Structure formats: structure tokens, C-alpha cells
Amino acid sequence: MIKQKTVLMAEISDIYHDAGVQKEADSFIDAGYNVMVFGFRDVINCSDEKYNFRLITKPVLARKFRSFRKLDIMFLIFYYNLLIVFTKADYYHSHNTLFLSGMWIASRLFKSKLIYDSHEVQWELNKIAKKLEEYFIHEVDRIINVSEGRAKVQAERFSLDINRIAVISNYPRIIS
């Protein structure tokens, strides 16, 4: 019996409202992978029964508590990175820079592959995201980007071989 390979994904957005991450996790499931998704949620109680993949989520404070919410998010990012380091997977798939450190450590510990899904332009978000991306983009095994144009800009910006970047569009194709 062949052991099913595991993909661990992490995303900072509310997983229950992030159709892109859900669609990607379902695609991995359809391809025969076991999938775990770490993420946040805006509500206290959510049902995970409708998903084919394992969800590990923690609630984030409401937006009306802006200062405490930022502290809560920072704590949860640290918590998830620590949890990721001790979770064995065959592939670590980061949707943003904030989980790259934990996934990089885990991928080295467990001799796994690290995939950076850089669909957003992280270097424009803030200084922390920019610095994390500048460092870890050279440490990942594979990079995913949304378009040829963005991939080209990313390759030039970080002095990367364009062949390290896989272009996977996240919009429907128009059939004529």
C-alpha cells in the first residue's frame, strides 16, 4: 500500500471565506494528496464537516478591537509557525510570507519541499512581508505566480531563474 503524500497549507485570511485556498486544497485532494490547512477565522464557531481536507483554525478578534486584533494576529502567526515546525508533511505550501519561516524550518527538518504561492505582490504590503520575501524566495523549492507578467517582474526583482516560477492562473479561462 502506497502512503498518501501530505500537503500542509497555511493562509492568514479567513479560511471559510477564501475560495481560492479552498479550491486549491480540493485540487490537491482530487490529485490524491492528504491536505491540512492552517488558517484564521472571523467567527467563533464554524463547521468543518463540508470540507474534504483537515482544517486547523483559530478565531481572530473582531475588527472593532483594532489594536488587540493586531496583537492577536501576531500571536497566532507565531503559534502557527511553531505548530508548522512540528507538523510533518511532504509539501509545505505557503500562501504568503508570514508562514515561510516555520515552513522553511519544517521542510529542512523533515526533508520536504517548500512551495511559495506568491499570487499577491508581497513586497508592496509592508516592510516585514518585503524582508521575509527577499530572504525566503531564494530558499523555497518552487514558486507559483498568477501570470507571466508578474512572474517576469518577480524573477527580475529577485534575480531568479524564470524557470523556478510556475504560472498558475487563478481566474477562469475564456473559451472562444
Which pLDDT belongs to residue 33? 95
pLDDT digits 0-9 by tens, 81-103? 999 999 999 999 998 888 999 99
Mean pLDDT of 21-39: 90
Please state whether 159 falls in left (phi above 0), alpha (psi between -120 and 50) or beta.
left
Asked if 122 and 130 count as a contact pair (C-beta separation under 8 A), the reply is yes
Hey, what CATH class is 6-167 in? alpha beta
Residue 130 half-sphere exposure toward CB, CA atoms < 13 A: 6
Which pLDDT belongs to residue 121? 62
pLDDT digits 0-9 by tens, 122-159? 666 678 888 888 899 999 999 988 888 888 988 898 89
**Where are the domains positioned within the chain?**
6-167
